[in-house]
Structure 1
């Protein structure tokens, strides 16, 4: 089962929503690119928003598909501003985006902690993906709109740091499943030009200062070796990794292999593995101990100086 199947199952027996995903009142989307995005993707239809009847953590899941015009939505801190910002990257198997389960829910957690949450709606579907070998067979520089969107989002946050009251040295990424793969991809390919610069914003750095990969996928080949398109080095930012041992979508080896590579490179890293939790649980409450993972992430971000320590 792929993450795309999980998202489609969660949105089965759906009710159609607006043609374009819109944030709640008080938050405004802004285009990621000034014109046509580079490395355009091909979509089979118009952008579509659907909310399922299957409940996760007592609530339905809203999925977005056929995204060709990527955006960010900025959620300002509702607690004392720490100066930190996090680009949040939902999962969905590179075929859709779980915009609430792995998006707005995250902003509802981060904003009260004084963190500016920047929700990324990146382009999906992505170019063809070879699921059987769990690796990307194509050249990232030629055909990775999702990574281009992630790099652009990081640069855009830094370009607006003053206006948004953000410390440009405290900009992180947090992603789930396919979004967790993009976290690793952005953390290790920031020196690589994925697209031709389009304006002065692209002079900003695309390196995140910290990273959180939550039940990440596609980081291994044959579940044993690190995906060659994730070139971990000593310059990879400090990273928090979390996964459940019974993750039946991507498997716990995703976290194990990535964490091992980080440690070999001397990257400050913290990993948490739980016996139970499965996949695609987001921040929604369950009876499993893994449901308390945001407390661990809070403590880790405080330990590296991104947010203040709780009393």
Structure 2
């Protein structure tokens, strides 16, 4: 199952527990809100039994592909909608996912880009795109300020579920200022899954991995530190560049600050995590020197003569920092 167990194995390789939901389907006679009930119950079950599985009940996400992507988007937007009658203590747990991953998702049931087959399967009949029923399950119309951070993967060549579906959901997330990241690859038909055999489109899961880390979803978020300072290269302020803080603690966000006019600054909520971090620099002084020999440099040491990468212990009050880089 390239959109189920293969995906679960991918998560397992990153230390993440994964649960594959076999939800009830429209062609089998099950229609809305049955599918929403299934995913709500699944999220509540995982959250209620989090201690049994040694997982964090505050870092439970939902992921779906194609029609499953629509169900995942409903889980992210309709977690407070009553889809079934409560039956036990599990149903007292929240059904809101803490993040969502949507892959070539069906989204818009009420537009010219709607997937008619999915609409019919979900609703159990012929409903027009402008019907109240279709609008009720169009996830782009249901995004709120409570929708969780979302990662979206799509291909431009997908003619089964056009990219407009993913784009509409992304724009709705932007409208509500929900943290979101979307990647649309030019190549790739509908339903590719991980597609690891493709050297280009198959990189999407690497981007998901990075997104998970940058949002501190792999490990409990550590306290972050406001940081500011200056960067010099061969005595001149770096006119344009960056300084990257890579935490020694696995899973914590890698943070990059842009350097302009020799200075950089990040507020606490965007700064690096407390603890040891490896430094990396990108720097240019050509704008100042106008010398052809002054190229953009990339280095993990303050000097090429240093024997070890540059390290720093991040802690409150450490700023302002001053880094002086030197190259021949």
Rg larger for: 2
CA distances 1:107-153 after superposition (whole Å, capped 9, x unpaired): 11000101000111111235879xxxxxxxxxx8xx32111110000
- Match of 1:147, SS? helix
Deviation at 1:287, TM superposition (A): 2.9
CA distances 1:42-95 after superposition (whole Å, capped 9, x unpaired): xxxxxxxxxxxxxxxxxxxxxxxxxxxxxxxxxxxxxxxxxxxxxxxxxxxxxx
CA distances 1:8-44 after superposition (whole Å, capped 9, x unpaired): xxxxxxxxxxxxxxxxxxxxxxxxxxxxxxxxxxxxx
Match of 1:110 in 2: 11
Equivalent residue for 1:264, pick from 141, 163, 175:
175
Match of 2:113 in 1: 223
Equivalent residue for 1:195, pick from 59, 64, 84:
84
Q: TM (normalized to structure 1)?
A: 0.61
Asked whether the 8 Å contact 2:61–2:99 carries over to 1, the reply is: yes
| Unmatched runs of 5 consecutive residues or more in structure 2 | 115-128, 219-250, 255-328
- Match of 1:119, SS? coil
Match of 1:156 in 2: 45
Q: Which structure has more RCO (C-alpha within 8 Å, separation ≥ 6)?
A: 1
Deviation at 1:217, TM superposition (A): 1.1
- Evaluate the alpha carbon distance shift between residue 128 and residue 245 of structure 1 in structure 2; reply closer, same or farther with a 3 A threshold: farther
Match of 1:208 in 2: 97
Equivalent residue for 2:54, pick from 165, 185, 188:
165
C-alpha separation between the residues in 2 aligned to 1:310 and 1:209?
Answer: 17
Deviation at 1:265, TM superposition (A): 1.0
C-alpha separation between the residues in 2 aligned to 1:180 and 1:113?
Answer: 22
- Evaluate the alpha carbon distance shift between residue 310 and residue 105 of structure 1 in structure 2; reply closer, same or farther with a 3 A threshold: farther
Equivalent residue for 1:274, pick from 185, 194, 199:
185
C-alpha separation between the residues in 2 aligned to 1:172 and 1:261?
Answer: 19
| Unmatched runs of 5 consecutive residues or more in structure 1 | 1-99, 130-139
C-alpha separation between the residues in 2 aligned to 1:144 and 1:300?
Answer: 31
Deviation at 1:277, TM superposition (A): 1.0
- Evaluate the alpha carbon distance shift between residue 128 and residue 265 of structure 1 in structure 2; reply closer, same or farther with a 3 A threshold: farther
Equivalent residue for 1:125, pick from 26, 38, 55:
26
Deviation at 1:293, TM superposition (A): 0.8
Deviation at 1:228, TM superposition (A): 4.0
Q: TM (normalized to structure 2)?
A: 0.57
Match of 1:254 in 2: 165
C-alpha separation between the residues in 1 aligned to 2:16 and 2:95?
Answer: 19
CA RMSD of aligned residues (A): 2.2
C-alpha separation between the residues in 2 aligned to 1:188 and 1:253?
Answer: 18
1:32-47 maps to which residues of 2 (within 5 A)?
none
Match of 1:296 in 2: 207
C-alpha separation between the residues in 2 aligned to 1:177 and 1:203?
Answer: 29
- Evaluate the alpha carbon distance shift between residue 310 and residue 101 of structure 1 in structure 2; reply closer, same or farther with a 3 A threshold: farther
- Evaluate the alpha carbon distance shift between residue 198 and residue 297 of structure 1 in structure 2; reply closer, same or farther with a 3 A threshold: same
- Match of 1:166, SS? coil
Asked whether the 8 Å contact 1:274–1:290 carries over to 2, the reply is: yes
1:77-88 maps to which residues of 2 (within 5 A)?
none
- Match of 1:243, SS? strand
Match of 2:150 in 1: 239
Asked whether the 8 Å contact 1:299–1:309 carries over to 2, the reply is: no
Runs of 4+ in 1 over 6 A off after TM superposition: none
